[in-house]
Amino acid sequence: MFILLQIKKMKILKFLSVLVLSILAASCSKETASPASADGTENLSLIKTISSGNYSIELFSTSPTLKVGYNKVYLRLKDLSGNAVNNVSFNWQPIMHMTTMQHSAPYSLVTKIANTDALYGGYIVFSMAGNSMEYWELTINYSVNNVNYSVTDTLNVAASASRNLESFTGTDGVSYLLALVDPAMPAVAVNDMSALLFKMDDMMSYSSVSGYTIAIDPRMPSMGNHSSPNNVNLVQSSGDSFYRGKLSLTMTGYWKISLQVMNTSGSTIQGQPITETNESSNIYFEVEF
């Protein structure tokens, strides 16, 4: 009888031990599965903080420096106590101050970033680098509780390490700007490729161009100008203004991506095909990795 009681006690203790371990494991699992921080800035670089009366605006980007070409830019408004404000309406405009003139650049609307508490953002396509005599300014207009504010500050914009922007006049006489978006981190693979195409309406405004085709022909000049298989020309996606296709990179190194821009009728308005006597288009992007 004594032995039976001991066996029962051991079974009960074993059962309780398993139960406690299960509860602890479930608790740990819940902690691991908890949602990520809604701050949204963990993988962003703070470019600068702009003081604006009772508020300050933090300006972030995906890289430590703004550069010529396509830039993702993010804004966060804070009050004097350092608390982020999440009921803001933003709009912005970049202006380049040159020695003899001023001009703007293509930019998107500013929208709330999903799954964040108080982060807003969009893109700006800077068309040239600043220097000691010429510089970019960004005007940010915003509204909090139906009160409107505006602030303007300078931005440092550096030259890009590779050619990621083309400015040209088409055979139709229109001035265009073509900006490479992806791949931001190219790999030996068939990469997703995207770009944005704008036409200049005047010195202060650009509009997105719809329905065109951007033909691509990637080549490695140092390797006999060989190309790659499985490339897909860029066409506009439904629902946004981005042109998307596929870029095949078969090895690391320097690639020159020749471009041809075709209008809605299929006519080439700028860019040359690669032939035995022509190794590159007059408009192209560069990728090196």
- 135 plus 179 within the same structural domain: no
pLDDT in tens, 234-258: 999 888 999 999 999 999 999 999 9
Nearest to 75 by CA among 108, 107, 113: 113
Residue 172 lies in a domain: yes
- 131 plus 57 within the same structural domain: yes
Specify the CATH number for the domain of residue 186: 2.60.40
Considering 115, 139, 158, which residue would you say is the last residue of a domain?
158
Please give the Cα distance from 122 to 109 (Å, whole number). Answer: 6
Considering 132, 158, 184, which residue would you say is the last residue of a domain?
158
- 115 plus 64 within the same structural domain: yes
**Structural domain boundaries enclosing 276:** 165-288
- 173 plus 151 within the same structural domain: no
Phi, psi (rounded to 5 degrees) for 251: -160, 165
- Per-residue pLDDT at 10: 47
Give the number of domains in the chain.
2
Rg of the Cα atoms in the chain: 27
- 150 plus 172 within the same structural domain: no
**Which tokens hold the place of 90?**
């933003």
pLDDT in tens, 158-202: 999 999 999 999 999 999 999 999 999 999 999 999 999 999 999
Residue 262 lies in a domain: yes
- 123 plus 216 within the same structural domain: no
- 174 plus 154 within the same structural domain: no
- 170 plus 276 within the same structural domain: yes
Specify the CATH number for the domain of residue 113: 2.60.40.10
* 8: exposed, middle or buried (Cβ count in 10 Å: 0-12, 13-18, 19+): exposed
pLDDT in tens, 2-30: 443 444 444 444 444 444 344 444 444 33
pLDDT in tens, 40-65: 999 999 999 999 989 999 999 999 99
- 152 plus 107 within the same structural domain: yes
- Per-residue pLDDT at 139: 98
Dihedral in degrees, nearest 10, Cα atoms 184, 185, 189, 193: 0
- 154 plus 243 within the same structural domain: no
Please give the Cα distance from 66 to 118 (Å, whole number). Answer: 22
Reported pTM: 0.86
Considering 104, 127, 158, which residue would you say is the last residue of a domain?
158
The helix (H) or strand (E) run that includes residue 24 is helix 2-32
pLDDT in tens, 97-117: 999 999 999 999 999 999 999
Residue 24 lies in a domain: no
- 177 plus 284 within the same structural domain: yes
Dihedral in degrees, nearest 10, Cα atoms 235, 238, 240, 246: -40
- 99 plus 139 within the same structural domain: yes
Distance of alpha carbon 122 from its chain centroid, rounded?
8
- Per-residue pLDDT at 38: 83
Region 214-240: mean pLDDT is 96
Residue 14 lies in a domain: no
